[in-house]
Each structure stands twice: as structure tokens, then as C-alpha cells.
Amino acid sequence: MIHMFRYLSLMFKNSLRNKRRSALTMVSIGMSLCLLGVLGALYRGLFLAPPTPGQELRLVVHHKVSITQSLPASYALKIRQVPGVREAMVWQWFGGTYKDARDQANFFARFTVEPDMFFRVRPEIGLPEGQQKAFQQLRTGAIASSDLATRMHWKIGEKIFLTGDIFPVNPELTLVGIFNDPNTSETLFFNEKYLSEMLGSGSARQDQVGSFQVQVESAGQVASVAKTIDDMFANSPEPTKSESEQAFTLQFVSFLGNVKAFLMIICAAVTFTILLVSANTMAMSVRERIKEVGILKTLGYTPGTILFLILGEAGVLALLGGGVGLLLAVGMTGAVRNGPSFLQAMKTLSITPDVGGALLVVAFFIGIASSFIPAYNASRTPILESLRNSG
């Protein structure tokens, strides 16, 4: 079998003998595999990627029934007393609108937090000490992630006016810091106390929060801390569910439906479509060369060798198409990374070596599978019948 690899040069030349057809086949395979690669990278980023540094020690505690239901703010003190908890803080989705809500460019994540605990719960935040103190001292102060500040052209001292929708208040904020954080994208944070003051003492929502973020002492304690917190409030009117920050973020994706199933179905449909396109091309190519197959048999080539040659040509052509698709997918994921999104999986979307390798393997498999039946039939065609065929 090893001696057959001496035909690799012949396979490569034959795969490109009809340049127009080969180019069109590679482009069609490449475009389809580009989509397959982007979907594969998205699937990996959402469901298979390991927690980034900082995330592995952080939990999000929210209502057990739904993240849209509130919890008492008093839970924070009890959570801080759980063994293994380093710090806990309010983490409240504010929502609201910025400027014109109809313009998607004005959308970004907006949370209220407790500045005094914020940097202990999220120690990976990169923010100069002076800006940290300003955020902790100025009641109307806000900080924004660097990617958001760059996109919105914000500078320190910028006045930011939000219009509430979930909350019936309109915060008037001053940007006091621009931070770097590998786990945060397109996000603005401002003071929970400022929101509470605007709601007023007569508001029932003043003592209610959406969720808490909890920093755990060590990775080995994460599971036990989560269980302890949930057990503590299991019999209360507002039971909790504690989960990793990564798992919590995926709940936003789940609002779109069963994203995992959607991605798998689309990938299967794309693969099947490529298989049909490639099968049609290879069937045409083999039919045109049936006389050539007869000549090869006359020269002493065995049916197995002929089958190997034809399959090899299809595999080479599919791999070239896969390479085109891989390059396109790299470019497309780069465009997605630079686009607006508060989901970290989108901001880190890339074609990793395992996704790229899988893409080329799929391309090669498609080439072999699509050409196997016509190649097998051609290799078994009798010499006289092959030579009688005009091609």
C-alpha cells in the first residue's frame, strides 16, 4: 500500500487538469466549508471552551426559577459568610437605552455593581488606581470596557445619559474609568447605590437585585460553595441557583432557542450539501475519463490502484477547497471579533487548531465519500467496455 503514495504527484496534476471545473469546485467547497468552520468555531467557543483565567473562581447566584426574577439584596451578607467565599457583590442588569434605541450601534451591556467589592470579585480587571478610587467615591461614576469606549469614542469625563426601561429612572453618569478585562466585552458598570437612591425608599424594587457575583477562594471549593449557597436558600420564598459565570452567560444565548441543536442541524445540512455538489462533479469527471481507465488497465494498473488514484484526486481537490474555506473562515471570524457584541464567545471567536484540523478532515472525507461510488464503478469496468466508451 505504501508504494501507491508515489502517485501523489500524478493525483495533484490530474485534480487540476480541468482548471475551470476544478476552480469552481474548490470555490463552492470553500464557501460551504467557510460557513461550517465559523459554525464550528462558534460551537466550540460557546460550549467547549474552558473557562478563561478569572472565570474559574467566579459564581453567579440568581433566582432558581428564572434570571428575570429578583432576589432580596440581604442575601449578599449571608453569601459572604459562606466558608470559601472571598467576596460577593450585587450584579444587576440595568438594561435601558442609550441615545436612539433603534440604532443597534447604541446597544451594549449595562450593569450596576457595588464599587467597594467590585475589584475583589473581579481581580482580573485592569484599571489604574486613581480611576478605581474615582469609581468608588463618585456616586454617579461609571467605568467602561476599553472596546466599548473605543467604539463609542468615549473619553474620561464623558457624560453618559441612559433612559430606563426595566427601571423607571434615567441615570446621568460620568465616565471615570476605562478598563481592560479578558472576560468582559462591550460593558458599562455604574454604582448600585445610585440606582437604589433614584428608585427611592418607597419603591419595592429598592431592596431587590437580579443576581450576585461571588469570588471563591480556590477552584477546588467552587462546587461546594455553589451547593452550600443553594442549600441555604432552598426553603426560602426566593430559592437560588449558583453556577459558573460561563454557564450563566450561555443562558442569554438560550433565549434564542436550542442553539446547540440549531448549530448541529445547520452543520449537518451544509455537509450534506457539499457532499452532493462534490459527488456530481466527481461523477462527471469519472465519466469523461472512462476511456483513460481502460488504457491504464491495459498498461497493467490494477483496479485497486485505479480506485486509489481517483479517490486521491478527489481528496486533493477537496483539501484544496478546504484550504480556501479555512482562509475564508479565519477572515470571517476576525470580522465577527471586531464587531459589537457583549458575549465573550463572540469577542474571542477564532479558528483554533482543532477546529481548523477538523475542517480539513471533513473536507477530505467529503472528497473521498463523494467520489467512492463512481470511482469504484470505473475501476471495475472491463477493459473492452472502457475502451469502447468515447468519454
Do 233 and 140 share a structural domain? yes
Mean pLDDT of 194-217: 89
Residue type at 118 in one-letter notation:
F
CA torsion sign for 57, 58, 63, 68 is: negative
Do 196 and 270 share a structural domain? no
Per-residue pLDDT tens digits for 281-315: 777 777 777 777 777 778 777 888 888 888 888 88
Do 94 and 229 share a structural domain? yes
Mean pLDDT of the chain: 85
Number of domains in the chain: 2
Is 163 inside any structural domain? yes
Do 268 and 182 share a structural domain? no
- Chain position carrying cell 455538489: 277
| CA 76 to the chain's CA centroid | 32
Per-residue pLDDT tens digits for 325-377: 899 988 888 887 776 555 655 667 788 888 899 889 988 888 888 888 888 88
In contact, 239 and 61? CB cutoff 8 Å: no
Q: Collapse the DSSP code of 304 into the 3-class scheme (helix H, G, I; strand E, B; otherwise coil) and give the result.
A: helix
Is 250 inside any structural domain? no
Domain that residue 370 falls in: 2-50+258-388
Is 251 inside any structural domain? no
Q: Is 343 left (phi over 0), alpha (psi -120 to 50) or beta?
A: beta
Residue at a domain's end among 237, 272, 307: 237
Do 336 and 232 share a structural domain? no
| CA 21 to the chain's CA centroid | 34
Do 85 and 26 share a structural domain? no
Do 90 and 230 share a structural domain? yes
Do 329 and 282 share a structural domain? yes
Q: Is the pLDDT confidence value at 102 over 70?
A: yes
- E-strand ranges in the chain read 58-63, 71-72, 85-93, 97-98, 109-113, 141-145, 159-163, 172-179, 187-191, 208-209, 211-216, 240-244
Do 111 and 220 share a structural domain? yes
Do 267 and 229 share a structural domain? no
Is 245 inside any structural domain? no
- Return the half-sphere exposure (C-beta side, CA atoms, 13 A cut-off) of residue 104: 4
Is 249 inside any structural domain? no
